[in-house]
Structure 1
Amino acid sequence: MYYKDYINNFREYNSYEDFYQHYELNVPDEFNFAYDVVERAGLEFPDREALVWHDQEDVKRFTFADLSKASSRTAHYFKSLGINKGDAVMVMLKNRYEFWFCLLALHRIGAIAVPATHMLTKKDILYRNTKASIKAIVSIHDERLLQAVDETMEVSDSLKIRVLIEGQREGWSNLHEGIKGMSEVFERPTGVNRIKNEDTMLLYFTSGTTGDPKMVEHCFTYPLGHITTARYWHRVIDGGLHYTLADTGWAKAVWGKIYGQWLCGSAVFVAEYKKFTPTDVLVDIQKFGVTTFCAPPTIYRFLIQNGLREYDLSSLKHCTVAGEPLSAVVFSKFKGYTGIELCEAYGQTEVTVVSGTFRVLRLSLVLWVKQLPAMNCFWWMRTMNLLK
């Protein structure tokens, strides 16, 4: 959709070397995804579908105009609660559609979104409150989680605001009640509230493989880094429907559920499963006509083991994997059933895609990997001998 506006001298690349040498982002002096992509699309293509969401009982479809208006109302509500530019707001919403309302609203204000998993304990929440000076928490209605948040209130100096997306609880505000009647227009901040490219937009806590989790900050130009994710790795289709299987508490969600996909014109599909079962995924791909799909290799193994051949997956055009090693057996079986070669990529919370298999390459072996432009990669064998 708009990705071409952010690539210098855009054209189709004829080889990996051409891609690596000439791909270059065109970063404007001020970029804000909520205004420059979502609001723009809402005005220019108001009926264009952006988000298809469902849970066990309901299906909701949101256009760019819907999300632009909803995020504006949410931004006004957040401002009324005292959330301002630079404030850190922890968002624990699983795969609820309200996540997109809140994330875009925080972008509009210039506040810092801190996505987090609903599995956090009291200790985890207190640690994050302290390290990131969390001012507000937006949460699903989960009794264990809410109790943990409430208990941290007493010892967290920064935490002042608590918001529920549904239901009632003492000391908590209700999001849907709060946004009723709010204006559907939220003007781009100016003056002292002007949002700069270098301002912090997102903050994640890494998994803490060794020691406590570490904070990772991303500025407002971060979404542009996911053009390569969506166009050259996911290979999303303009007007298509992309499905990344990931909880919004993890960075993988913004890799595949918002930034690059919408910049490249693809809607995103989101399912809120109470309990994950492989057949639910297969049913959804068939029912909703998913065109591109991304999941860890383990998920593909589950799909194969649970009757993948019995479903009509003809809508799928490209599939990708990340997060763990892809076995040759899973690769071969999936290709045998669908004709699609799974394409791997590697990245971290601190960056976007670092290396992988990309659209500009015609590959027959999934083991071939290439680094992205602007990335300097060194490959090591297990013996720690430098390869490149």
Structure 2
Amino acid sequence: MPGFGHIPRDYAQAVEAYDPDIPEFFNFGRDVVDRHPPEKIAITAVSEDMETVRDISFGALSALTNRFADALARLGLAPGAHVMVVMDRVPDWFTVMLGANKAGVVTVPGTTLLTGRDIAWRVQATGAQAVIVTGRHCGKVETIAAECPSLRHLIVSGGTRDGWLALDDLLAGASETPPVVRTRATDLMMVYFTSGTTSAPKLVPRDHSYALAHAATGLFWMDLRESDLHWTLTDTGWAKAAWGKLYPPLLLGARVLLYDAAERFDPAAHLAVIERFRVTSFCAPPTVYRMLAQHDLGAYDLSSIRRSLGSGEPLNPEAIRVWHAATGHFIADGYGQTEAINLIGNCVGIEIRPGAMGKPVPGFDIDVIDDDGNRLPPGEIGHIGVHLSDPWPPGLFDGYITPEGRDRRAFRNGWYYTGDTARRDADGYFWFIGRADDLILSAGYRISPFEVESALLEHPAVAESAVVAAPDPTRGHVVRAFVVLASGWEADAALVAELQAFCKAQTAPYKYPREIEFVSDLPKTVSGKIRRVALRARG
């Protein structure tokens, strides 16, 4: 297992000293999980009512993941095969993700909010040979399985179901000494889907080096220690789960808290979990902090928290102040992408400036640049760019997967253009401005206007649609849709509700437009493109 004790965490020292070493061969399951002391607790899993608490040691995790790797081999899933994973926050998720890792099988994580249609699209795009889900998602898969000829196996966690293989049975019948698969650091490990504004979700490849590169995330921004109990609030299908539940904490030996909460966020329950289990490291999207800030924080003992982290969207300064008043420390904002690791953050050893993204994480050369790749002076707004170096920046992907090959249009002029804009002040702090491509960030979710517009257009009442972000005091932004009605339809409150329900059924429900405005036409450029900037200006 890689050792990190010699690496300074103080920002100024780390910038000078940190030189990540990515070996030719690397496998997170074998080189990290299997090499921790077997008696050390890796995961503490807590049921929704907090009555059931299960501690899982690294030794137990090693054995379970070995069994799953062997089960995959017995099913005929060879290294390089893809499996889609849609699972709740349960311990089996670790078994599946890390066991597939050991087997060299490529995981395709998906949020639990996906519909059957969403799942079908992802299975078809990756050629996934298996789908692994927790029980409540079986029905979604069954409605689309016939449309997915690549599917060979349906696996259910936490129970049994006709026509499905039970994960418990697979594990019971497998060996703890599976075939050893040597994976190169450059071999494909995971495929995420991330939304754009002018196309369907993009396929983001993540190789085995990505897991090790997250050492920088854990060392410098999260400041994780072996004594920590770390809790990241996220769905298992998002890349943030890789950040907060898998790689940084397990790399650095911190214990992960897994809370099987209901889909609807309950501030009181989450605060009670922090108090009861003495969480020391806590990460949540700004929306959660805004909701917690509206609660009576003084009614809970939050003194165990050593470090609070925020990511997913810009953090509201007011939420930072309220949290500081309750805990005595500021939330350390951080910025990264599905396509990378943590890139910019309020790292250890630098002053936290409320509202600022922080400074580039050690190991990266990041700046604000113009369209031609020129570095801009302090105060000017430009693209957030990652300078392309040799060796390649740690954890940075190398292009989106497409049927025609890798799409590398984001790489130009010697930089990776993140698609986000910012300004940098004279002290080197970055301040987020917005998405360069109109991607909507709402309550920590990344929502593509194109996907929502596409769903709306399938309703017979909709002739045209355009979607933009609208400011919201709790969620940061919500989805606002402008709709041109088809002939014969009348605009009224009933139709608004019908369109909202229709969108929830067509795609993941968090994407539905919370605001719908009916218009006679949409502002367009000469070439026929919708001018979203004009729609946003309507307020």
TM-score by length of 2: 0.66
Q: Percentage identity across aligned positions?
A: 32
- Counterpart of 1:162 (choices 154, 159, 164) is 154
8 Å Cα contact 1:115-1:248 kept in structure 2: yes
- Alignment-mate amino acid for residue 125 of structure 1: I
- Alignment-mate amino acid for residue 222 of structure 1: Y
Measured against aligned partners, the alpha-carbon deviations of 1:99-118 in whole angstroms (never above 9, x if no partner) come to: 00001110110000111112
- Counterpart of 2:226 (choices 214, 232, 238) is 238
Measured against aligned partners, the alpha-carbon deviations of 1:309-329 in whole angstroms (never above 9, x if no partner) come to: 111111100001011221221
**Whole-Å separation in 2 of the counterparts to 1:321 and 1:13:** 19
**Whole-Å separation in 2 of the counterparts to 1:379 and 1:286:** 41
**Whole-Å separation in 1 of the counterparts to 2:16 and 2:312:** 27
**Which has the bigger relative contact order, CA under 8 A and spacing at least 6?**
1
2:56 aligns with: 62
- Alignment-mate amino acid for residue 238 of structure 2: W
- Counterpart of 2:340 (choices 351, 373, 376) is 351
2:29 aligns with: 34
**Whole-Å separation in 2 of the counterparts to 1:156 and 1:25:** 41
Q: Does 1:25 align with 2:17?
A: no
- The two structures, once aligned, show a CA RMSD in angstroms of 2.1
Inter-CA distance 309–209: structure 2 relative to 1 (3 Å threshold): farther
Q: Secondary structure at the match of 2:292?
A: helix
8 Å Cα contact 2:82-2:127 kept in structure 1: yes
1:141 aligns with: 135
**Whole-Å separation in 2 of the counterparts to 1:153 and 1:76:** 25
- Alignment-mate amino acid for residue 227 of structure 1: A
8 Å Cα contact 1:236-1:291 kept in structure 2: no
**Whole-Å separation in 2 of the counterparts to 1:263 and 1:111:** 20
Q: Does 1:214 align with 2:202?
A: yes
2:121 aligns with: 127
Q: Does 1:372 align with 2:361?
A: yes
Q: Secondary structure at the match of 1:196?
A: coil
8 Å Cα contact 1:136-1:160 kept in structure 2: yes
Q: Secondary structure at the match of 1:170?
A: coil
**Whole-Å separation in 2 of the counterparts to 1:47 and 1:22:** 32
Structure 1 residue 78: deviation in Å?
1.9
Q: How many residues align?
A: 374
TM-score by length of 1: 0.91
**Whole-Å separation in 2 of the counterparts to 1:161 and 1:307:** 48
Structure 1 residue 373: deviation in Å?
3.2
8 Å Cα contact 2:89-2:258 kept in structure 1: yes
**Whole-Å separation in 1 of the counterparts to 2:163 and 2:222:** 42
Inter-CA distance 149–363: structure 2 relative to 1 (3 Å threshold): closer
Structure 1 residue 387: deviation in Å?
5.1
1:273 aligns with: 261
More strand by share: 2
1:4 aligns with: 4
2:272 aligns with: 283
Structure 2 gaps of 5+ residues are 370-378, 384-421, 425-539
Inter-CA distance 364–354: structure 2 relative to 1 (3 Å threshold): closer
8 Å Cα contact 1:343-1:366 kept in structure 2: no
**Whole-Å separation in 2 of the counterparts to 1:367 and 1:353:** 15
- Counterpart of 1:258 (choices 246, 250, 256) is 246
1:178 aligns with: 170
**Whole-Å separation in 2 of the counterparts to 1:99 and 1:308:** 31
**Whole-Å separation in 1 of the counterparts to 2:293 and 2:186:** 44
Between stretches 304-313 and 362-371, larger displacement belongs to 362-371
Between stretches 367-376 and 220-229, larger displacement belongs to 367-376
8 Å Cα contact 1:2-1:265 kept in structure 2: no
Structure showing greater Rg: 2
Structure 1 residue 187: deviation in Å?
4.8
Measured against aligned partners, the alpha-carbon deviations of 1:72-97 in whole angstroms (never above 9, x if no partner) come to: 11112222222220010011112111
- Alignment-mate amino acid for residue 4 of structure 1: F
Q: Secondary structure at the match of 2:135?
A: coil
**Whole-Å separation in 2 of the counterparts to 1:78 and 1:150:** 21
- Counterpart of 1:248 (choices 220, 225, 236) is 236
How is 1:286-297 mapped onto 2 (pairs within 5 angstroms)? 286-297=275-286
Between stretches 162-171 and 180-189, larger displacement belongs to 180-189
More helix by share: 1
- Alignment-mate amino acid for residue 12 of structure 1: P
**Whole-Å separation in 2 of the counterparts to 1:346 and 1:235:** 15
Structure 1 residue 170: deviation in Å?
2.6
- Counterpart of 2:92 (choices 57, 73, 98) is 98
- Counterpart of 2:101 (choices 101, 104, 107) is 107
- Alignment-mate amino acid for residue 29 of structure 1: E
Q: Secondary structure at the match of 1:154?
A: helix
Measured against aligned partners, the alpha-carbon deviations of 1:281-323 in whole angstroms (never above 9, x if no partner) come to: 1111111111100001111122222221111111100001011
1:47 aligns with: 39
